[in-house]
Structure 1
Amino acid sequence: MTPKNYAKKLGLPPGTLIYTGKEKNHFEISILDYDENNFGEIQEIDVEASFSFKDSPTVSWINIIGLHNTEAIQKIGKYYGIHPLSLEDILNIHQRPKIDHFDTYNFIVLKMLTYNQESCEIESEQVSIIFGKNYVLTFQEKSGDVFDSLRSRIKAANGIIRKSGSEYLVYAIIDAIVDHYFLILEHLDENLEELESEVVSKPSLETVQKINQLKKNLITMRKSIWPLRELLAKLLRSEFVLESSVIYFRDVYDHTVQIIDIIESLRDISSGILDVYLSSVSNKTNEIMKTLTIIATIFIPLTFIVGIYGMNFAHMPELEWEFGYPFVLFLMAGMVITMIFYFKKKKWF
């Protein structure tokens, strides 16, 4: 699929900050700041107020919503030492999931997917992550995400997240996104089961549309999860990941492999359902043609008889016969009954 609004960037030098999306929500910065014994949450602060968390001894999760505010993004990037090319990739929402290493930070791009139950479509949003020693910056296009359970864990100090550093927070963010992929796959699997029943019982044009939408959703997921596997493999091979964090990133990697296997299985099943639909339609067409052929076959001899006696030649002996008309009707009825009996014996209907 060709990226939309990409024409805005044509001819501009590298590092030019141009937002390529359409969403223009309220710009908002929220912060979760914590360590093992302390926790603080700040909502909707201004850009300058977020600068003090860069060198904080605690772990700071700074979430920025509203990529259309390029001026604020530029200020944040300048203070945190983010390379202009990274800022450009943050604002270009059509990036492929990837990871880049820099001297003072690491840059990750992911696709956060959500399932719209009304339209049965998968909606994709780019999430960009910048993380350093004690801070994690996440950039989102619009409000609403899949991190509510993660925020609750941090507030309640469940697990080891409050005892761990920024690397573990990055793992938790990626894990939350990947876990949500499983929820989407559950919806797609339910749709698949419904289509399997529908394609056998009452296939229609709407069934084809549903199959095509399902295949489109699987392609969307495949485009998001395959690069993520490469991203995690590169992350595991890198030198900057602490040994204590490797096991967690490896666990997410295993989940991505599992998701890829499920996606491939669902793709095969959806292709099989489409074949079943085409076979069902073909069989239905054959049944209709068989019925029409039987009806036509029954009427061919009747038409032949009617055609002969419709000529009305002067010397046709049956024209003057008193029982000629009922005899012909009896003959035609007998032929119909005989042919129907013969077709049933051959199990043609």
Structure 2
Amino acid sequence: MVEHRFSTTTLPSVHTSSDDDSHFDYFYDTPGSMPGTLNIEADASPPVIVLIDYNEALATRLEVETPEDCIPYLDTESVSWVDVKGLGSEDVLRRLGNVFNLHPLVLEDIVNVPQRPKIEDYDDQLLVIARMVTLKSSGNGFISEQVSLILGRHYLLTVQEEPEYDCFGPIRERIRTGKGNIRKQGADYLAYSLLDSIIDGFFPVLEEYGEQIEALENEVVESPSRQTLEKIHTVKRELLGLRRAIWPQRDAINALIRDGSDLISPDVHIYLRDCYDHAIQVLDMVETYRELAASLMDVYLSSVSNKMNEIMKLLTVISSIFIPLTFIAGIYGMNFNTEKSPVNMPELNWYWGYPLVMVLMALIGVSMLFLFWRRGWFENFSTVSAKSSTAEQKQLHSSMRR
């Protein structure tokens, strides 16, 4: 009989805000600073350490008070997952570095966020820096945070920048219930599972941006406005942030597959190839959506220009009709004296002169309207079919999902 022990300690919920500029700026050291210097932000959340120790028969979860409490679990044959959420205490982080014998530069990469996603091999440890994205609760934009993974022989240390947001819930549930192979595998398989979960976390975010682009496409075609231009610019900027997150992540996974590591077994190496394939798919979707967003900007400019052309065409038609009418009215406004000469505008003395001129002017106006209609000047050549454009967009989305 397999025994499962899993505590239900509730983690504190901390709400944090994310600055959009963090999607583009990586951390850099102050010129002349000493290597291994830790720079902790003033609003960083205090770290919470959760340890999950498991083997094929048993799984235990507990919150530890100090990093030193993890030491008894690191030398066992079971897999120990130490999850640190928050970077708000330099003392705790340095003690954590002592417990896991982390190189000062490794601790610096973990604490000084954001770092560019990368993988570094330290013989008995493997450092993986990744970017994890989740949608904001408002649905507008996404939150990007750094996740550091330090893989050892029988343990995995993860350090998360934000304590509230992660996509590791299904993995914790699989460990708790013993579903799948995760309890039968080592720490390298756990590292793969977390990395694969991080990559797959991009897909819900990209689906949201696909819907936004589809809505913007209809808005650009039907009723473009200044707000539409601002929305397109925001989407382009946020997609660029996603690209900066997934591009180096893909390269890092590829480097790990190519170079290998003594800490990664051949079986897990095969799983990493699937993870790399997902990263390529995410990158392809990001590039496609960026191209669609760029084309939306062109469509917006064309729509605004076409709307102006339609206005100018209407004004031109009205002016063309009134030009001959104004000419006739101008002739009969010259006020020549008909008593001085019989050729001085004799029609002014006609009994039906005024009705005849009005009928003539009406006939001229109707004839010109008919002529413009026969030439097709009233057709709107600049109209784009929103339904067909939306259908093409949906077909593109479905093909990308396949």
**TM-score (structure 1 length as normaliser):** 0.91
Residue number in structure 2 paired with 1:348: 377
Tell me the residue number matched to 1:46.
Answer: 66
How many angstroms apart in 2 are the aligned matches of 1:85 and 1:110?
16
Q: Deviations over 1:177-215 (max 9, x none)?
A: 111112222222222332333333333333333332332
Residue 359 of structure 2 is aligned to residue 338 of structure 1 = no
Distance 1:346 1:78 in 2: 85
The equivalent residue for 1:128 is 148
* Greater CA drift, 235-244 or 114-123: 114-123
> In the TM superposition, what are the counterparts of 1:128-277 in structure 2 within 5 Å?
128-143=148-163, 144-236=165-257, 237-240=259-262, 241-277=264-300
RMSD: 2.3
Is the counterpart of residue 67 in structure 1 residue 67 in structure 2? Answer: no
Matches of residues 32-111 of structure 1 in structure 2 within 5 Å?
A: 32-43=52-63, 45-111=65-131
- Once the 2 structures are TM-superposed, how far is the Cα of residue 163 of structure 1 from its aligned partner? 1.2
* 1:99 Cα deviation from its structure 2 partner: 0.7
- Structure 1 residue matching 2:128: 3-state secondary structure: strand
Q: How many residues align?
A: 348
Q: Mind listing any 5+ residue stretches in structure 2 that lack a counterpart? A: 1-20, 339-343, 379-402
TM superposition shift of 1:10 = 4.7
Shift in Å at residue 248 of structure 1? 1.0
From 310, 314, 335, the equivalent of 2:333 is 310
How much does 1:6 deviate?
5.5
Percent of aligned positions that are identical: 41
TM normalised by structure 2 equals 0.80
Shift of 1:95: 0.9
CA contact (8 A) 1:122 1:220 kept: no
Q: Which amino acid is the alignment partner of residue 77 of structure 2?
A: P
Does the Cα contact within 8 Å between 2:129 and 2:147 map onto a contact in 1?
A: yes
Q: Which residue does 1:12 correspond to in 2?
A: 33
Deviates more, 1:168-177 or 1:114-123: 114-123
Return the alpha-carbon distance in structure 2 between the equivalents of residues 18 and 132 of structure 1.
Answer: 25
1:220-256, CA deviations, whole angstroms, 9 ceiling, x for partnerless residues?
Answer: 2221222112111221122312112111111101111
Greater Cα shift, 194-203 or 181-190: 194-203
Contact 2:26/2:116, CA 8 A, preserved across alignment: no
Q: CA–CA distance in 1 between the matches of 2:190 and 2:56? A: 13
Letter matched to residue 299 of structure 2: V
Amino acid at match of 1:38: L
Once the two structures are TM-superposed, the CA of residue 44 in structure 1 deviates from its matched residue by 5.2
The answer to whether the Cα contact below 8 Å between 2:27 and 2:113 also exists between their aligned partners in 1 is: no
